[in-house]
Amino acid sequence: MQDPKDILFGKQIKEISRVCGVDITTARRWKRGAQRPPDWALCLLTGDLSFFDPKWRGWRLIRGDLVSPENWVITLGDVLAQRLVAAQIAAYQVENRHLKAEIAELRRGGYEDQPRPEELGEIAIRVG
């Protein structure tokens, strides 16, 4: 975990109080270094999720968005849509398998060859 001074630097006391849900006087003590903020408060202030589980090391919450170590931004809408996207992918995979089976059947001779244009002879086209 970073040094609390580095984490608190540049943050307003009101913001520290709001984010951590503590009294303004507590936030003031943390800010001036009279009392060390607990790890959970530092986690909230940095948005670092590894406090909750080491597997989330490098992941952060920034203004309501989940940000990966590679700086991919994932919104709440992205998270909520994940099940829909997974269902769409599954449907496309089923359709893809069916189309591949159809192609394989056609390649095995399951279709009649179409005549080549030169084999058709003359074709009369009526207009009107």
pTM over 0.75: no
Residue pLDDT, tens place only, 47-69 = 888 888 889 988 988 888 999 99
Give me the residues paired with residue 53 across strands. none
Gyration radius from the chain CA atoms: 31
Options 1.20.1740, 1.10.260, 3.40.50, 3.40.720; CATH for 4-74 is 1.10.260
Q: Which two tokens stand for residue 75?
A: 């919104």
Domain boundaries, given as residue ranges, for the chain = 4-74, 76-111
Structure tokens at 54: 């080491």
Cβ 62 vs Cβ 21: under 8 Å: no
Sheet holding 60-62, edge to edge: 60-62, 65-67, 73-74
What pLDDT digit, counting tens, does each position of 87-99 carry?
999 999 999 999 9
Going by pLDDT thresholds of 50, 70 and 90, the confidence category of residue 127 is confident
